[in-house]
Every structure is written in structure tokens, then in C-alpha cells.
Structure 1
């Protein structure tokens, strides 16, 4: 069933910033039956500059004007999370499919409200957990479903990064990624959300989760250390540790089965390692697209045009917010 009365998805972007330079929005110009027709940012000089450099015909400094534009029939929300809910509601009220950046919102309650509003309006809601469509993650899911490593037993995640006090928009006080009021949490919400969402996709929903958090370096308000354990509905167990003030970087996830294991980096190249007893490790490597969200956006376009299904939607993405909230504790 088509989600729009058109044969072309004509995207309008709210919050056209860094993520739209290469990762996402250019794909909307390159895919068949897809156009990027309008962009919005409050800073007039910056939004005009983006439109000029990327060949976008319309630019706005007012989000409501873009949402209501007759030229736009689908909305991409690329703002920090604290603005997601209000813009999703406005897009739903305008009857336009909406694609929102991850994490889906600051809290699980905001996610629930977004999902309910979109369902009541009969408007599809998609979320930018694009690893669900990248080739090496698709391969991991295929190996699991084919039973190559047997029945899954447990998962281990380890992510260490050096202290980052000037990432994103500058110093900590200006960096929304480490401001819980804007992001819901810190880098855990920004990065672990990708890891937990993919595991939801590959292994099914997580039913219970708990953890402990700390601010060890004291460089900003958000947590910089998280440890967690969780269990999937299937009975698979999981654990994880995330440090964002470690001296040595590490990005390593292992999925253990009864017959072997799969290991990979979440934020590295398109590689994975299949380990089976009494066999040499098998290495798989895939080229990643220049515009990293392109495979997912293509699936979303197909969904909107009634010729496929998106693997990342509001109802799946809100589960990831729930897990992160259970690990870190409910927001005050």
C-alpha cells in the first residue's frame, strides 16, 4: 500500500546540519523516485549555503513552513533528539511520512507518544537505525538465521573511546550529544543505541535490562561509563561495558552460539569474523556506501511507494529507548 499519492518521494529536511552533508540527505537526491526538494535550518546563512552547495531548490528558516509546503510529501527530522517529538507530531498532523534521526527521542515516553500520534494519523514513522540495512550487518543476521553458529547463547559488547570534550558542536557545554536535556543521555545514547538496535533486529527484542552508570572523568553532565546486563525474549543473555573516557579505543561485539561465534566492530569497516571449532576463522568484508544511510533510505522510499518494507520503524526503535532507559535509570 502506497503511503503517499505520488510516484516520487519529495523529501524536506528539518535541521540540515552535519549528518546531512554526506551520511543521509545526499542519498535522497541519488535514489530513483526520490528527490530532496527543501531544507530547513534556523540560521539563514547556513541553510542557504547548504541549499546552494547541494543543489536544493527551496530553503526555509521555519520548520512549520517546510512541513506545510506542497512541494514536500515526506519529512526527514535531523535535529537533536529534544526536538524530535514535536516535529514528528506536526508531520503526522500534516499527513506526511516522517523519518527521524536516532536515538528516536530522549525518553521512552516520548517515543510512545510519537508512535501513537503517527498510528492515529495513519502516517508511517521511520527511524535512522541504518545498520539494519548495511551489508555486513545483513550478513550477520543471515548467518544467525541460517544456524551457522547454532542456537544463540549470549552477546558481549565492549566499546571504549578516549575522552572527547570537543566533538560535534564544540566544547561540552555546546555539544548536545553530552547534554541529557537535549539528547536523553550522553555518548551511550548516541552510540550504544546503534548496537542495541541491531541486536534487537538480529536476535529479537530485549525483555529485561539493568545496569549502572557513572561520570568518571567529570568533563560534562552526562554519564561517561555504563555497564549493563540484559536478556532477550528468546532467552539469550547479554552484557556490555561502554567507557567514553578510556585511554585506549576498543569496539568489539561477539555473538556466541552453541556451534561458534561472530565478532564485529559496530563503528568500523564492513568486516566480521566467523569462528567455528576446528576451522580457520572466516573473514567477511563488504564495501560501505559513501552515503552510509543510503541502503536504509532506499528501503524507506520503497515502503512509502508501496513496493517494500522498511526494517526500521517507530515501534522497533522505541524498544531501544526502553532498553537504554532501563540500563541507565528512568529520567528524573
Structure 2
């Protein structure tokens, strides 16, 4: 690694990298994006030119083995996360991989084992864990603002977007062989991961998954219950063919509750017998940046402050696997 700086290589140049993640590697202190890869070379070259990245490739092995690349960001669909992670680990390079971490829990474990064997760190792009909004919620919980936590509920339903109704050219996010499942895997994973961050690991899960609307092959509704290691109970419902868009989480305690959205700009609400307090947080232009900054600090200064690792990412995939186990079985 360059002294005091992490030089990143990025595999995949899709939409998520245009604003959410790619520019953050350039804007974070002691960080630089030096190479990008996409299977279509012209698209990789175009991305590199637009984002001022000096090297581009149409082959992942070439990027991973580029001596100027210190660490690898994998921004492809989950179907290739395992293979690219193992290759990067064998090359001795730290890995930052998109969410969900892999197609299933078994693949997550292979990735963790490969990075452990190579003695390289593995990070997962559950970037909300480093954002002030969710850190504030964690502070409220840890300062006992709602007393003893009893249960958490998640309600997430939305209208079916037009692109998912296109049977001839559906998006990769609803193709299980590429994504692991339907939109629950793409979106529900963020909420389940942030609940792990706020309340600790889940130990028991029961769920039902179905396809009700028939727009695509993957599940479009998931409901489940779970119990955290702490004894807290949880219940969640996700439906992606409803009549409106609603997304809400409530953490209920013995003396109050915290209400928040995983995705929306709504303020965090703390409700007790004394009334309601709220906190608003401006949106980030590059949502990955706070987490990338922590990862860079880990890699350059030896800090151990990155909240999203292979172990935490795998836990979220385990929960999702359990919730959709009934689908197609």
C-alpha cells in the first residue's frame, strides 16, 4: 500500500458507482481510485475518463493484479462477489464488497475463510452503519432513552415499478441467479443489517415468502419474525406489489419508542411520556463516504473502527436465507 494512502481498484462500473460510491473513493482523505474494470472495455474507459481515473480494464484479474491497486471494491451483482473476493484475497488485497454480501450464507462463509487465510480484511457496503442518523439512534438506545427494548417492527411495502414488469428484459435485481432473490434481497437487507447494528445479532428466524403478483420469478412478499440474542423480538413485512409506498421501523421499549425510516429523509422520532423529540439529517451526496473513510483509517492507521465487516454482512445474509427458505421449497 502507498504510504498513508489507499489506492483502490473497482470491479464493476454500474449505476451504484456513479454517485453513491465511486466519487467517495476520490473525496475521502488518504484515498484514491486508480483503476476501474467493466467487461465492456469501452464502458470502463468512458467511466475512467468521466471520473478522472487513470487506468481501466475489461478483465478483473488484470485489475486485481495491478501493482498500483492496494485494495479492491467489488461493485458487481452478488453472483460474482464470492469469486472476485477470493481472487483479491489470494492477491493479498483487502476487499470492500457490495451488499448483499453474496448469493447465500454459504458463499459468505467461503469469502470470510478466504480473507482470513490470506490475512486481509473484508468489508461489506452496508454504509448506513457509519452515517450520523443511525449512529444517533444507537446512542439513544445505549443511553436508555426508551428503557428496556421489547421489540422492533418493520413495515416496507411499495408499488411495483414498471421495469420489474418487463418480462423480456427484467433488471438483474429480480433475477435470483444474479441477486440471490427479489427486491427483498436488494432492499430488505439494508433494514435487517441496520437492526443488527442497533440491536445486535439475530439468533432465531421464521418466515414466509411468496410471489403474489407474478411479474417475475423471485419472491415479491416476505413476512417474518425473529428473536435477537439479547431477547428482543422482531417482526417484519416486505411487499413489492402494493398500492402505495410505505417504509417504517419502530423500536419499542418499556418507556418509549424510536421511529425511523431506513431509506427516506424522515426525521428520527423519540416518543416518551414527556412528548416527542426529533432529529433530522441532511442526505449525503455520496452515501458510501462515511464508511469508506472509516475503512481507509483502518487500512492506513490500523484503527479498528469499521462497523461493517464480513462477519456482520454474513449475519444479514443468514437472516434473509431463513426468511425466504419456504419459497420454492
**Contact 1:270 / 1:288 at 8 angstroms: preserved in 2?**
no
Cα offset, 1:46, TM superposition: 1.2
**Contact 1:270 / 1:287 at 8 angstroms: preserved in 2?**
no
**TM-score when scaled to structure 1?**
0.95
Cα offset, 1:308, TM superposition: 4.1
**Equivalences for 1:1-332 in 2 at 5 Å?**
4=1, 6-166=3-163, 173-269=169-265, 271-277=267-273, 279-305=274-300, 306-329=302-325
Structure 1 residues 214, 167: closer, same or farther in 2, change over 3 A? closer
Deviations 1:61-101 (A, max 9, x none): 00000000011000000000000000000000000000000
Cα offset, 1:44, TM superposition: 1.6
Cα offset, 1:6, TM superposition: 3.3
Instruction: Name the SS of the counterpart of 1:263 in structure 2.
Output: strand
Instruction: Name the SS of the counterpart of 1:86 in structure 2.
Output: helix
Deviations 1:152-173 (A, max 9, x none): 00000000110124169x7674
In 2, Cα distance between the equivalents of 1:225 and 1:174?
18
Instruction: Name the SS of the counterpart of 1:10 in structure 2.
Output: strand
Deviations 1:271-306 (A, max 9, x none): 2100001x2211110112210110011011111111
Deviations 1:2-21 (A, max 9, x none): xx463210000001110100
Instruction: Name the SS of the counterpart of 1:210 in structure 2.
Output: strand
Deviations 1:228-258 (A, max 9, x none): 0000000000001000000011000000011
- 4+ residue runs over 6 A deviation: none
Structure 1 residues 231, 42: closer, same or farther in 2, change over 3 A? same
**Contact 1:228 / 1:327 at 8 angstroms: preserved in 2?**
yes
In 2, Cα distance between the equivalents of 1:165 and 1:224?
14
Stretches of structure 2 lacking an aligned partner (at least 5 in a row): none
**TM-score when scaled to structure 2?**
0.96
The count of aligned residue pairs is 327
**Contact 1:251 / 1:265 at 8 angstroms: preserved in 2?**
yes
Deviations 1:22-47 (A, max 9, x none): 00010100111100000000112211
Structure 1 residues 165, 180: closer, same or farther in 2, change over 3 A? farther
In 1, Cα distance between the equivalents of 2:299 and 2:286?
20
In 2, Cα distance between the equivalents of 1:324 and 1:245?
19
**Contact 1:128 / 1:293 at 8 angstroms: preserved in 2?**
yes
In 2, Cα distance between the equivalents of 1:192 and 1:85?
21
In 2, Cα distance between the equivalents of 1:115 and 1:32?
27
